[in-house]
Amino acid sequence: MTDPRTAVAAVVDPEIRVITIDELGILRAVDEDPATGRVVVTITPTYTGCPAMDVIRTDIRRALTVAGHPDAEVRTVYTPAWSTDWISAAGRAKLAAAGIAPPGPRGDGTAVPVTLAVRCPRCGSPETEQVSRFGSTACKALWRCRSCSEPFDHLKAL
C-alpha cells in the first residue's frame, strides 16, 4: 500500500496539466482513520463553479485505488475560500515555465489588489496588456506581451 497523501498529492490538475492539485493548493487534507484505514480527502475548488472538480474527484479516487485505498471519500469544502496565495513556490515556477504567468501575492487582505502589469512568462518584460478577462479557462485571463508579441495566460489572483 502506498501512502495516501503521496498518491493524492501527485494528481494533476485537469485544466492546467503542468501542476498538481497539491501545488495548486486545492488539496486541503488527507486523513486516514487508524482503526479502519479509510481515507478521507478534503479539497477546495479554485472557485465555486469550477467545471474540473468532477474530474479531480474521479482522479483522486483512481489514484487512491491504485495506491491500495479503494474505499476513500472525497469531501469538497468551500470555506475558507481557495486563494492564489495557496499556490506553492514550486507550483508558481511550473506555471511560469509552462508560459502561464502566476499571480502575485494578495497581501494581508486590507487592500484590494489591482493588476497593473503582468510580466511575460516567456521574455520577462513588464510591457504587457490584457487582451481578454477570460483565457483558456475561467480562472485565467489572456494577455499579450508587447515586447515579444506572444500571447499568454495569466492565472487570476483570487
**Domain coordinates in residue numbering, the chain:** 4-82, 85-155
Q: Which CATH number fits domain 4-82: 3.30.950.10, 3.40.50.740, 3.40.50.970, 3.30.300.130?
A: 3.30.300.130
Determine the straight-line distance between the first and last CA of the chain, rounded to whole angstroms.
37
pLDDT of residue 114 exceeding 70? no
- Alpha helices, H only, 35-149: 53-66, 89-97
Residue 115 has pLDDT above 80, yes or no: no
Does the predicted TM-score (pTM) go above 0.85? no
Q: Dump the DSSP string for 130-154.
A: EEES--SSTTEEEEEETTT--EEEE
Confidence at residue 134, expressed as pLDDT on a 0 to 100 scale: 86
In which band, very low, low, confident or very high, does the pLDDT at 11 lie, cut at 50, 70 and 90?
A: very high
C-alpha cell at 118: 503582468
- Sequence-distant (≥ 6) Cβ neighbours of residue 148 within 8 angstroms: 120, 122, 123, 125
The Cα 39–Cα 4 span in angstroms is 7
**Per-residue buried b or exposed e for 76-114, using 16+ beta carbons within 10 Å of the residue's own CB:** beeeeebbbebbeeebbebbbeeebbbbeeeeeeeeeee
- Inter-residue contact 155 to 102 (CB < 8 Å): yes
pLDDT of residue 91: 96
pLDDT in tens, 51-73: 899 999 999 999 999 999 999 99
Which grid cell sits at 19? 501542476
